Amino acid sequence: MKSLRVLFAAAAALVVTALASAEPVAPQAAPAWQLKDVDGNIVSSEQFKGKVVVIDFWATWCPPCRHEIPGYIELQKKYQDQGLVIVGVSLDQQGPGIVKRFMKATKINYPVVMGDDAVIEAFGGVEAIPTTFIIDRDGQIRDRKVGAEETEAYEQRLLQYLKS
């Protein structure tokens, strides 16, 4: 997991700045993926066809990641009936146990899977965490954000894909 070690070094630098860089991207097909959740069950991108999916690469030890999670919990509650699915991709190297405890303590209400080098590569690399993608209902990546952002600002960008 060499790329995860590089990612963690980059995340440490991001923690210091905690600035978000967000931008719409030229639509491109989102990669197919299949990962295990914290209970060992398989979760795949196929399950979310026709939904607006937020893919959030994060870790329990990352302060900017932790800062965003309450907002994601609220967005999931607010928009799940409109087809929003947030998927957390944990890059914690200590395994699913620590992630499961964190999820319980923070009452995460969306699926969390355990990431690996293959999914990082499939999404074009993740230089720092949090890195978050918006995938539209047609399975196209439409937005990429590196760093933490206040929920209200992120919600405004997300709404354009929920309404289409």
Tell me the catalytic residues: 62, 65
93 close to 61: Cβ distance less than 8 angstroms: no
DSSP 37-85: BTTS-EEEGGGGTTSEEEEEEE-TT-HHHHHHHHHHHHHHHHHGGGTEE
CA pair distance 108, 145, nearest whole angstrom: 20
